[in-house]
Amino acid sequence: MVIVFRPDVSEADLQFVIDRVTEAGLKTHVSRGTSRTIVGCIGDEDRLRELALQSLPGVETVVSIEKPYKLAAREYAAGATVIPLGKARLGDGSFSVIAGPCSVENAEMLLSTAKSVKAAGAIALRGGAFKPRTSPYSFRGLGEEALEILASVREQTGLPVVTEVMDTRQVEVVCKYADVLQIGARNMQNFSLLSEVGQAPKPVLLKRGLAATIEDFLLAAEYVLSCGNRNVILCERGIRTFERATRNTLDIAAIPVLKAETHLPVIVDPSHAAGRRDLVLPLALAAAAVGADGLIVEVHPDPDRARSDGDQSLDFKAFAGLMGDVMALRESAALRKK
């Protein structure tokens, strides 16, 4: 249930209502917009109905949210969630791109990649330290050594670091080095891990599972939000279907659906959706066209020699071209709206 307050509500009246709701045994979350303050209430709504909330001071209206996800629902927030990421702000209406290699291979490679993607306009650096691989014999990352390299490159370039955490036992060490914790598609319903990162002091980039519905996806985000971490970035990266021409099937319709359903920022991973570097640009353009807040793209100085995901990685020149084309599309769309 959501309590919407009048624009002129006083802090005393707001706190009075929050206290009444808390006394009834429900949890509250305050969301302040430019013209409205909203208090979301999580718990037994029958207890709330006994409080005659509509008549309490400062209350304008009370809305019941019937969706299974409450904290992630658009109705729960007074405005879009905006997540600071270095000097950028993800979800504020701008288009943000995170880029870097699938996995950290060595310091020289990562530094050259970071400098190149930053020059092209990327706001953050991605790079895997712990890699979930289908085969146990594939390269699975350098672990903490890679985290140390990521932190060193951040210090040299100023780019915030996004890296994956695969296990509850890794959360503490990854938090020590990273700026954003990524939950991969295979772990979208690892509820112990979701709860753990929900208590972490870092934003969470949550990727959609290989066979997850949009409701499944938002309920996974709800796990993180319900544990106290309000900074969740949703990432559409394609789902597994019968189609084999691409690595996954990018659900382009999911972006406008998610933008309508939730206040959380939504980005797209065209690299994992395509599995082929020649398809990354058209999928990136499609994501920008339907209203995504940004992209996360795999970039490598020499994709043909990459230790993982080389087929879907862009080289520096291709990534710079992608950035130019995507930003041109965004500018064109903005001009049309005027």
Residue 51's CATH number = 3.30.70.1140
pLDDT of residue 335: 60
Write out pLDDT tens, residues 241-251: 999 999 999 99
- Domain contains 255: yes
Q: Same domain, yes or no, for 234 and 313?
A: yes
Distance CA 157, CA 176 (A): 18
Write out pLDDT tens, residues 88-139: 999 999 999 999 999 999 999 999 999 999 999 999 999 999 977 777 767 7
- With 70 as the cut, is the pLDDT of residue 166 above it? yes
Distance CA 264, CA 231 (A): 8
Write out pLDDT tens, residues 188-210: 999 999 999 999 999 999 999 99
pLDDT of residue 275: 95
Evaluate whether 322 touches 284 at the Cβ level (below 8 Å). Answer: yes
pLDDT of residue 337: 65
Q: Same domain, yes or no, for 99 and 51?
A: no
pLDDT of residue 137: 66
Range of the domain at 13: 2-64
Polymer length of the chain:
338
- Look at residues 12, 29, 64 and tell me which one is the last residue of a structural domain: 64
Q: Which residue has the higher pLDDT, 180 or 307?
A: 180
How far apart, in Å, are the Cα atoms of 257 and each of 109, 222, 266, 270, 288? 38, 17, 10, 18, 14
For residue 38, give every residue at least 6 positions away whose Cβ sits within 8 Å of its Cβ, in sequence order, or none: 2, 3, 4, 5, 30, 31, 32, 76, 77, 78
- Domain contains 72: no
Q: Same domain, yes or no, for 247 and 307?
A: yes
Distance CA 320, CA 116 (A): 8
- Look at residues 29, 64, 99 and tell me which one is the last residue of a structural domain: 64
| Mean of all residue pLDDT scores within the chain | 92
Q: Same domain, yes or no, for 143 and 32?
A: no
- Look at residues 13, 30, 64 and tell me which one is the last residue of a structural domain: 64
How far apart, in Å, are the Cα atoms of 10 and each of 22, 28, 30, 98? 18, 18, 14, 41
pLDDT of residue 65: 78
Q: Same domain, yes or no, for 163 and 244?
A: yes
Write out pLDDT tens, residues 220-240: 999 999 999 999 999 999 999
Evaluate whether 20 touches 56 at the Cβ level (below 8 Å). Answer: yes
Evaluate whether 70 touches 40 at the Cβ level (below 8 Å). Answer: yes
Q: Assign 276 a pLDDT band (cuts: 50, 70, 90).
A: very high
Mean pLDDT confidence for 280-298: 97
How far apart, in Å, are the Cα atoms of 273 and each of 14, 238, 248? 45, 5, 5
pLDDT of residue 338: 58
Q: Assign 336 a pLDDT band (cuts: 50, 70, 90).
A: low
pLDDT of residue 167: 94
pLDDT of residue 44: 79
Distance CA 157, CA 7 (A): 43
Write out pLDDT tens, residues 22-73: 988 888 888 887 778 989 888 877 787 778 888 888 998 888 878 889 899 9
Distance CA 189, CA 217 (A): 9
Helix (H) or strand (E) run with residue 220 in it: helix 214-226
Q: Assign 183 a pLDDT band (cuts: 50, 70, 90).
A: very high
